[in-house]
Amino acid sequence: MTKRMLMSRELVATAIWIFTAVNLVWAGPPFATDDPEPVEYEHWEVYLASRLFHDKSGWSGTSPELEVNYGTIPNLQLHLIAPVSFVAPRHSARLFGYGDTELGAKYRFFEETESLPQVGTFPLIELPSGDHKRGLGSGHVQVFLPIWLQKGFGPWTTYGGGGYWFNPGNDNHDWGFIGWELQREVFSGLILGAEIFHETTSETGGHPDTKLNGGLIYDFTEQLKTLANIQPGLGTVMIEYGDRYTNAYYAAKGGNWDLAAYQIKEAREIQEVGETTRPPRAAGLKAFEKAYLDPLDVAIKAKNFQQFDKAFKAGIQGCNGCHAGQGFPYIKYELPKAPTSPLSMKNP
């Protein structure tokens, strides 16, 4: 198998991708043709998908593959595909394993204008990480150097171009690719597209191929944003956190050490909600937990209120200092004069 494993089949199956993205112009799988538009600066794209291919010898593809793109600077994205590949020959056992890793960098030279297309390049390197002997990889480093163009017309977008693959190995040939794609946003979130592309021969005795391909993509970005927006933020999380912290103090003061331990455990768990729903705050929350909640647990196990009181007051200073450092100096915790819970704080 000498071409990129996933572009060397006589029949390219129509694919459906579910993904999150920053816009609704889509290139790459399920299309062989690409575009010049990089991921926005400091934005991520993460995709999980499968591809399926068939020819007279059997089936092959990826199940699944992980694609990650990141906008490192304006007009430049870095790219990775890590696939789990499979081959299912007609008359032998199916084989699964890690496939060839794809690395790339997409750079846009010219922005799109009212009359001119955007133009860019997307060099790719295929690393031979798949087991060539089992048919899960090419066995050689392959390099692709393309030029891509794109222009939008209302709900329609068209893009294409071509490039040259450097394909080392016995009986292998370097080969060319040229393709063009047309897609339309049918309604919000749904894109239908079709392409035609041509590949020159990549191996001795091979033949050039011209192929047609269609694809459907649905974007769940808006739905995911809605779900993210209704998740509790730190403002909501900290209300319960403060109550747990307060009640832990009065339980320890009353000698109800089991209740104090329970309140600190629950404070950790509600903090995990904040770490999940607000990832940029996760590192600071974990640092606070280690610096101020861990000493409280030590004091609770020792059933030493003086030790607990000292650690508790240090936690208040750390909490208020964190708020000030994050631009919220007006949010200050003060220990209430009574517990906020109706539970008994006394040692049962």
| φ and ψ at residue 37, rounded to 5 degrees | -90, 115
pLDDT tens string 184-227:
988 877 888 999 999 999 888 888 989 888 887 777 777 777 77
When mean pLDDT is compared across 25-39, 57-71, 305-319, the lowest value belongs to 25-39
Say what the pLDDT of residue 58 is: 85
Asked if the structure places residue 302 within a domain, the reply is yes
How far apart (Å, rounded) are the C-alpha atoms in residues 272 and 253?
26
Say what the pLDDT of residue 5 is: 41
Tokens of 248: 């832990």
User: What residue numbers bound the domain in which 183 lies?
Assistant: 5-226
Residue 4 binned pLDDT confidence (cut-offs 50, 70, 90): very low
Asked if the structure places residue 68 within a domain, the reply is yes
Find all residues with CB under 8 Å of 190, minimum gap 6, and list them: 216, 217, 218, 219
Cis peptide before 155 (omega within 30 of 0): no
Find all residues with CB under 8 Å of 265, minimum gap 6, and list them: none
Residues 18, 128 within the same domain: yes
Structural domain total, the chain: 2
Mean pLDDT of the chain: 87
| Gyration radius (Cα) of the chain, Å | 28
Residues 314, 174 within the same domain: no
pLDDT tens string 30-59:
688 999 999 999 898 888 888 777 777 888
Write the CATH number for 289: 1.20.120.290
Of 171, 192, 226, the residue at which a domain comes to its end is 226
- Output 199 or 16, whichever has higher pLDDT: 199
Residues 164, 57 within the same domain: yes
Say what the pLDDT of residue 17 is: 40
Three-class SS state of 100:
coil
Say what the pLDDT of residue 26 is: 47
Mean pLDDT of 74-83: 96
Say what the pLDDT of residue 29 is: 59
Say what the pLDDT of residue 52 is: 79
Residue 330 binned pLDDT confidence (cut-offs 50, 70, 90): very high
